[in-house]
Amino acid sequence: MGDSACYKILKSHLVEGRCEAGEEIGITIDQTLTQDATGTMAYLQFEAMDIPRVKTELSVSYVDHNTLQMGFENADDHKYLQTMNSKYGIYYSKAGNGICHQVHLERFGRPGATLLGSDSHTPTGGGIGMIAIGAGGLDVAVAMGGGPFYMTCPKVVNIQLIGTLRPWVTAKDVILKVLELLTTRGNVGSVVEYTGPGINTLSVPERATITNMGAELGVTTSLFPSDQVTRQFLKAQSREDAWVEILPDPDASYAKIIEIDLSTLEPMVACPHSPDNIKNISDIKGMKVDQVAIGSCTNASYKDLATVATILKNKKAHPSVSFIVAPGSRQVFEMLAKDGLLTHLIASGARIMESACGFCIGSGQAPITEGISLRTNNRNFEGRSGTSTGQIYLVSPETAALSALTGTLADPLDQPADEYPSIPMPESFIIDDSMIIPPFTSNEPVFRGPNIGDPPYTEPLMNEIQGTIGLKVGDKITTDHIMPAGPRLKFRSNIPEYSRYVFENVNPEFSGYTLENKKKGIFTAIIAGHSYGQGSSREHAAICPMYLGVRVVIAKSFERIHSTNLINFGILPLIFNDEKDYGKIDTSQDFAIHDVPSLVKKGTYIPVHVNGTIVNCTLFASGRQREILLDGGLLNYTKKKV
C-alpha cells in the first residue's frame, strides 16, 4: 500500500521510532511559531536551556493576542520578545502586522515542511500541505533548540470531497459538517487528510479555514495536498520557489474514509457552547442577533473580507447590531483599502478593528449580558467571549454579513444564487514585510520589565504524593476554564500572579486554598470527565496548577496537547480504568499514591488510594515521557540531556 501525504512528510522528517499508527515517533521540526500569549514563557524556557541560537530553519515570534496595552505589562512583554528574538535568531512580527496563522500562511509556510507552534490553531498551515502541529510552549522551545518533537504516529482519516459548493455555501460549512460527523471527542491520535476532486474547487484560504478549525476535532493536525492551487497561491505571494508537489499515492492506505458531497451541503452554525453543537441555519433562522463579529485566524483572509465587503456595498448594518470587522493581517487590510473594499465596510457601519486575535480570545468586544453574538472564529466555549452569559454562534462570513444587515440570523440560501459575490483569488498580493523584524546581531540587552518572571521550577518526582481532592469537574473542561484568557493574559510571564486565577470562573476560591495547602505540604488532585483540557495549547493551564501544588489529574479522557503539557510540568495525567469510579470520588476527600517513581518506571498501572479505597488508573505515557515525569518535567529533562 502507498503512503498518504501525511505519512510522506512524517517519514521524510523521522528521526526516532517507526511510522506505524500508535507508535511514538520523533520528527525534526523545520519551522516554529509563537504568539505573545504563549511565546513569552516559551522564550523564557528557551533561555533557560543555555543554547546560543535557534537551530531551526525558521522561527517566528508574532504579537497578535495581547495587543491592547492597558498598563505596562503587555508593552513590556513585547519589548522583551523583540530584544530576545534578535539575540537568539528569531523573526519578530510586530503588533498590527497580523494574526500568526494568517501571516505565516502568507509569508513563511512551506509545503512539505514541519511547523510546530505554541498555538492550537497552528494546523492552519495544513492548508498549503504542511504538517503543522500545535503544542505547548516548552515543546516549541525544545524544537527551537534542535530537539525532535515527539508525538504518537497518527492514524490518518481520509475525507474525500466530491462535487462543488453551491453559491452561498462555504468552506466554513465544510468544517462544521466535519465537526458534526466526528465531534470534538474521540479523535486524539488522528490526522485528517483531505482528498478528492472537490479539493480542486477550494482556494488556499478556504482550505486553511478547514484545517484551522480542524483543531476543534482534537486531531493532531489536518492537511490538504500541495497541488497547483497551492502553487498559484504561493506565486501570488511571490514565493513560488517554496512550492513542491505533495500528493498521496493512488493506493494510499487510510484508517477511515469519509465522503462528503460539497454540492449537498447547506449553511450551518455551531451553537453554544461547543464547536460540535451543529445545526442547519434553515432550522433556526430568524433568531434576533445582538452582535456580529467577522475576523480571526479562521475567516479573515482577503477572499473572506472582500466577499463580506461586496455583500455590504451600499447597505447599512441593522441599528440594533454591534458590528465588528477585523482583517486577519496587514496585507489583507492594505489590499481591502487599495481595492476600495474597506470603504464599503466602513460605510456599512462596521467598527474596524486592528489585525489581531481580539474578540476570539475575549480581548475586547464582549457581547451584552445574555447577548447573542454571531462570530466567524473557531471556538464558542462558555465565557470565552468575555461575557459569562454570552451566547456565541459560529458561522461563515457570508452568514455573518447578511445577519448584520437584518439583525436576525439569516439563511444565505434565501438569497438569489446569481447574487453571490464570487471573489477570484488575486493574481498578486501586496508584499510589505517591513513589520517583520529579521534577527540581527546587537549588543542591546534583553529587556525585562517587572512583569517578567523566571520559568517555573519543578522538582523530581517525589516518592509519595498525598493530599486532597481539590476540585471535581465534568466533561469538556477547556483550557479557558482552567486559565481564563482576556484581561488575565497580561500575567502570562508572571506565574505567581497568573496562578491567582486558576479555575477563576469555576471555583474562585480554588487557587487560594490550594496554594495554602501546598505551603503545608498537602498536594492537590483534580477529578474530571471526558475531554479534559480542550481548546488552547496554553501551557499555563498546566504550569499554574503545578505552581499551586496540583500533582495529579484523574479524568475519563484527556485532549492531546494538554495531556502532554501536564507531563511536561510534572503532573500525572491519569485515566480511570473504570469510569464508574468517577462517581465515587468527591472534593475534600484524601488521596495518596505510594512508591510513585517505581510505579511510573514500571509502566502504566497507577493505584490511587482515595478515602481508604483503591481507584485503579492508567498513566498513558511513553517511556520517554515517564523519564520526563521522573525528572519533574521537560525543562529539567532537556537541560540534563543538553
Residue-wise pLDDT for 364-394, tens only, equals 899 999 999 999 999 999 989 999 999 999 9
Residue-wise pLDDT for 422-432, tens only, equals 999 999 999 99
Nearest Cα to Cα of residue 220 among 24, 481, 461, 480: 24
Residue-wise pLDDT for 16-36, tens only, equals 999 999 999 999 999 999 999
| Structure confidence at residue 492 (pLDDT) | 87
Task: Show the cell assigned to 591.
Answer: 488521596
Flag whether pLDDT at 642 surpasses 80.
Answer: no
* Least confident piece of the model among 337-341, 342-346, 379-383, 596-600: 379-383
Task: Show the cell assigned to 257.
Answer: 474514509
**CATH number of this structure's domain 268-413:** 3.30.499.10
Inter-residue contact 225 to 202 (CB < 8 Å): no
Portion of the chain with pLDDT greater than 90, in percent: 90
In the chain, where the domains are located: 5-264, 268-413, 465-641
- Residue 379: exposed, middle, or buried by beta-carbon count in 10 A (0-12, 13-18, 19+)? buried
Which amino acid makes up residue 450?
P
Inter-residue contact 299 to 332 (CB < 8 Å): no
Residues 181 and 173: their CA atoms lie apart, in Å, by 12
Residue-wise pLDDT for 213-232, tens only, equals 999 999 999 999 999 999 99
Angle 415-417-420 from CA coordinates, rounded to 5°: 80
**CA-derived radius of gyration, the chain:** 24
Catalogue the active-site residues. Answer: 64-65, 119, 379, 536, 538
What residues contact residue 35 under an 8 Å CB cut-off, 6+ apart?
Answer: 62, 63, 64, 65, 100, 118, 119, 357
Inter-residue contact 174 to 140 (CB < 8 Å): no
Domain 5-264 -> CATH class: alpha beta
Flag whether pLDDT at 104 surpasses 90.
Answer: yes
Distance between the two ends of the chain, CA-based, in angstroms?
Answer: 40
Portion of the chain with pLDDT greater than 70, in percent: 100
What residues contact residue 14 under an 8 Å CB cut-off, 6+ apart?
Answer: 25, 26, 27
Task: Show the cell assigned to 137.
Answer: 510552549
Residues 572 and 276: their CA atoms lie apart, in Å, by 29
CATH architecture of 465-641: Alpha-Beta Barrel (3.20)
Flag whether pLDDT at 442 surpasses 80.
Answer: no
Flag whether pLDDT at 59 surpasses 90.
Answer: yes
| Structure confidence at residue 156 (pLDDT) | 98
Same fold, 5-264 and 465-641: no
Write phi, then psi, for 474 (nearest 5 degrees).
-95, -150
Residues 250 and 598: their CA atoms lie apart, in Å, by 48
Task: Show the cell assigned to 477.
Answer: 473542561
Residues 188 and 216: their CA atoms lie apart, in Å, by 11
535: three-class secondary structure by DSSP: coil
Flag whether pLDDT at 641 surpasses 90.
Answer: no
What residues contact residue 62 under an 8 Å CB cut-off, 6+ apart?
Answer: 33, 34, 35, 36, 39, 93, 97, 98, 99, 100, 103, 104
| Structure confidence at residue 537 (pLDDT) | 85
Other beta carbons less than 10 A from residue 222's beta carbon: 29
| Structure confidence at residue 536 (pLDDT) | 86
Residues 612 and 619: their CA atoms lie apart, in Å, by 21
